[in-house]
Structure 1
Amino acid sequence: MTDTRPVLVVTSLHDPTADVVIRELHGRGVPVVRFDSGDFPASLSVQAEITEHGVKGSLTTPSRTADLARIRALYYRRPTGFAFPHLDEQDGRFAVTQARYGLGGVLASLPGCRYVSHPHRIGDAEFKPSGLAAAVDAGFLVPPTLITSSPDAARRFVRQHGPVIYKPFYNPIYRIDGVSNVVKIAEVAEADIGEGVAGTAHLLQKRVHKVADVRVTVIGAEVFCVRIDSDLLDWRTDYSRLTYTPVEPPAGIKSALHRYMERFGLLFGAFDFCVAEDGRWWFLECNPSGQWYWLETETGLPMCAALADLLERKT
């Protein structure tokens, strides 16, 4: 008997990675309903009832209608935020919160749905301090790290652990002359730390003398490890200078990865490690919605098929 339950793909209109996954699902005959939650309510509507049997109702896009009680899986990628530009600031703020907790609450409560991953769990895992603490608990090596708003504490940390790098907790986009920019990871000297540090929270971390980086993509039970060689502090600043090699992880890494995933309730994670001169892998971060498809095109690793298996619920 053919399973006609659809997969919901929640992401922005321009998401090439989601496009690839949707093509794979279509090729398998799996129905897909794609939408951006940021399109609500202009071109997305929801009607949901809370019944003794759970959430029932429908979600309607310009081209599809999905029965909320028959969703096979939800792939939560990178939707845009809710926006109500036709309202004044106060009414707009109210409408955004109602959309977030209303539509968002419905999407987080679908009966029998497999979430890859659940949006609430993704939100939990996006906090870097939580991720670093969970990494220690999972058994990873984590560089000495300081989170502070104290200039004196920051200077002491640099003196004790230098060389030290600064990392943003989260990277909002800055537009400079109309061009999108982000705050980059950079090495920090004691002399660089001014009183402005007291203005907000900062993350400082001992710099590991690395010989390479590794991106590990975990998709359900599958683990894909790719070594990334470059001469860059942050390999994401220049993809043209990278070379890629599939590798096997050292002993203990796979089990630690799954412990980390279970801690947050994730079915997908993009982990970054750096490889020290002695060969040990040091945990840097896990992005619960990280990019991955370019690694498949570079290495041939079957990540898209693994993700489609998870959404189709073959695994």
Structure 2
Amino acid sequence: MGDRRSVLVLTNSYDVTADRVLRLLSERRIPVVRLDPGTDLHATASLTATYRPGEQQGVLRTASRELDINRVRSVWVRRPSPYTGPPGLREQDRRFAAQQASWGAGGILASLPEARFVNHPWHNRAAEFKPSQLSTAQRCGFLLPDTVITNDPEEAREFVASRPGGAVYKPLWNTPYRVNGQPHSVWVREVRRAEITDAVSVCPHMFQAKVDKAFDVRVTAVGDRLFGVRIDSPDVDWRYRQELMTCASVEVPETVARAVATYLTELRLIYGAFDFAVAASGDWYFLECNPNGQWAWQPTETTTAVALALADQLEKGPDT
């Protein structure tokens, strides 16, 4: 019957994007176990690991499966919930339980022997830091917009004032934020010198030269397979009003493809969602790489191709 080792999918119960890949694995008769460790492990699931000289054993039990952790073919770290601890506990006890789960269960799930990770959670985390992305992109040969990250208001003012084509502000992390009790997103937006106040000193802020772009591009990388989508939007940040954007497949230049491959290798990633601003000159400027970016919003043919590529990686299992 071949290799019957399971694919372990770490994601929340509302993740319909994961279902696309899970259906493909089911059609290929690849066993799949789905787990949301941040919630399931204090509800319907348990996880045990045992370490002895020369031996590591363990078992994951869910409401419908029992999995030997030595028999995991691949782990897809998709969109698991954060570790928040069981509801009903006092705040201090819940915080303690959440931290223990993160370091304990999270550590076990990140250390499964002979499993292929897409991507490894520790590599994901390291690759999420914007300064690391920019530094790595620079080494890999990407073009970058001039960028400053600073908590010095005067440095920020001088940088913005010296950009003849204008400048934009970008948050360094998508931190949950509320205005009048309502969720509020901080989008990429143009910024002028007069808008920069001394409040910049509270924390680092990221400012970039505005690219005179003709359009945006999302390149979804799965191993050595690249899927490029051109995005036309009236906004600086196309995510702001996605209902107004249009998408179409686009060819990825060979120079960009080589830089993407080098970037993935440097940060030890199999999957990456790369965003570019393409200037009127035709130059592709690297903006960021989300190591766990969404992909099912793209045109149907691209979404289908990405799902197939992910299924191939998960079926493949660890490199031999």
Shorter-normalised TM range: over 0.9
Secondary structure in structure 2 of the residue aligned to 1:169: coil
Give the Å deviation of 1:298. Answer: 5.9
- Kept after mapping to 2: 8 A contact 1:270/1:288: yes
* d(CA) in 2 for partners of 1:121, 1:247: 28
Aligned to 1:80: 81
Moved more, 176-185 or 54-63: 176-185
* d(CA) in 2 for partners of 1:184, 1:235: 9
Secondary structure in structure 2 of the residue aligned to 1:2: coil
Secondary structure in structure 2 of the residue aligned to 1:302: helix
- Kept after mapping to 1: 8 A contact 2:295/2:303: no
- Structure 2 counterparts to residues 104-115 of structure 1, below 5 A: 104-115=106-117
Deviations 1:116-170 (A, max 9, x none): 0000000000101100110001100011111111111100101112511000111
| One-letter amino acid matched to 1:242 | M
Give the Å deviation of 1:184. Answer: 1.1
Moved more, 119-128 or 34-43: 34-43
Secondary structure in structure 2 of the residue aligned to 1:273: strand
| One-letter amino acid matched to 2:267 | F
Q: How many residues align?
A: 315
| One-letter amino acid matched to 1:140 | F
Give the Å deviation of 1:24. Answer: 1.2
- Kept after mapping to 1: 8 A contact 2:7/2:31: yes
- Structure 2 counterparts to residues 1-315 of structure 1, below 5 A: 1-39=1-39, 40-53=41-54, 55-84=56-85, 85-162=87-164, 163-176=166-179, 179-297=182-300, 299=302, 302-313=305-316
* d(CA) in 1 for partners of 2:302, 2:222: 16
| One-letter amino acid matched to 1:236 | R
Gaps of 5+ in 1: none
Deviations 1:69-121 (A, max 9, x none): 01000000111111233222332222222111110110111111000000000
Fraction of identical pairs, as percent: 46
Give the Å deviation of 1:278. Answer: 0.3
Moved more, 135-144 or 175-184: 175-184
Secondary structure in structure 2 of the residue aligned to 1:191: helix
Secondary structure in structure 1 of the residue aligned to 2:254: coil
Moved more, 295-304 or 98-107: 295-304
| One-letter amino acid matched to 2:32 | V
- Kept after mapping to 1: 8 A contact 2:151/2:201: yes
Secondary structure in structure 2 of the residue aligned to 1:100: helix
Give the Å deviation of 1:299. Answer: 4.6
* d(CA) in 2 for partners of 1:177, 1:23: 41
TM-score normalised by length of structure 1:
0.95
| One-letter amino acid matched to 1:16 | V
Gaps of 5+ in 2: none
Deviations 1:243-287 (A, max 9, x none): 222121223111110110011110000000010010010000000
Deviations 1:220-264 (A, max 9, x none): 111111111122211111222222221212231111101100111
